[in-house]
């Protein structure tokens, strides 16, 4: 999925699931729950739109779109989905530090990706750039 970031040719700017979950949690604890309860249909509509986009997209494109939504814009800007093949999502990361930091999020990423995609993601491989001179 070269160019255009994790959303590729779909050119969408959607809120991340992290933001949606935060808003939902805030709604549950708010004193103004009646006013904020009207957001629930919008949330369901958002998930329906995302599911429709992912259902229509080829598996690799769908994985790239879902990755951008699951990990959030700051991480998506620094990473690139290389491929999604046989349940393995390979993601290029800037360096070993990013690889180590993102490893702790893998269980949550897998959970969220598998709620969005029709093909199961069994593993995420973070791939740092090859060092110069390495074959």
What does the DSSP assignment read for 53-96? HHHHS-HHHHHHHHHHHHH-HHHHHH-EEEEEETTEEEEE-SSH
Query: Which pLDDT tens digit goes with each residue over 47-102?
Result: 778 878 888 888 888 999 999 989 999 999 999 999 999 999 999 999 999 999 99
The answer to whether residue 121 sits within a structural domain is yes
Confidence of residue 36 (pLDDT cuts 50, 70, 90): low
- 101 found inside a domain: yes
Backbone phi, then psi, for 11, in 5-degree steps? Answer: 50, 45
Classify residue 120: in a domain, yes or no. Answer: yes
Domain count, the chain: 1
pLDDT surpassing 50 at residue 1: no
Q: For residue 99, give the CATH number of its domain.
A: 3.30.300.180
25-64 burial, b if ≥16 CB within 10 A, otherwise e?
Answer: eebeeeeeeeeeeeeeeeeeeeeeebeebbeebeebbbbb
Nearby residues of 120 by Cβ (< 8 Å), 6 or more positions away: 87, 114
pLDDT value at 19 more than 50: yes
Q: Report yes or no on 20 lying in a domain.
A: yes
Range of the domain at 103: 15-127
Nearest-angstrom CA–CA distance, 47 and 82: 25
**pLDDT at site 122:** 97
- Token pair 């990013």 is at which residue? 98
Res. 115: pLDDT tops 70: yes
What is the rounded average pLDDT for all residues in the chain? 78
Q: Bigger pLDDT: 28 or 100?
A: 100
The pair phi, psi for residue 27, each rounded to 5°, is -60, -40
């Amino acid at each position: 999925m070269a160019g255009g970031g994790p959303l590729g040719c779909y050119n969408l700017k959607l809120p991340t699931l992290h933001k949606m979950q935060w808003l939902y949690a805030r709604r549950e604890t708010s004193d103004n729950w009646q006013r904020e309860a009207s957001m629930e249909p919008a949330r369901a509509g958002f998930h329906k739109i995302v599911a429709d986009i992912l259902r229509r997209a080829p598996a690799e494109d769908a994985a790239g779109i879902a990755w951008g939504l699951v990990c959030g814009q700051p991480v998506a800007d620094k990473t690139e989905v290389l491929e999604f093949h046989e349940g393995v999502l390979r993601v290029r990361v800037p360096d070993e530090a990013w690889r180590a930091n993102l490893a702790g999020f893998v269980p949550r990423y897998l959970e969220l990706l598998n709620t969005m995609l029709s093909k199961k993601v069994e593993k995420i491989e973070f791939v740092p750039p090859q060092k110069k001179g390495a074959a």
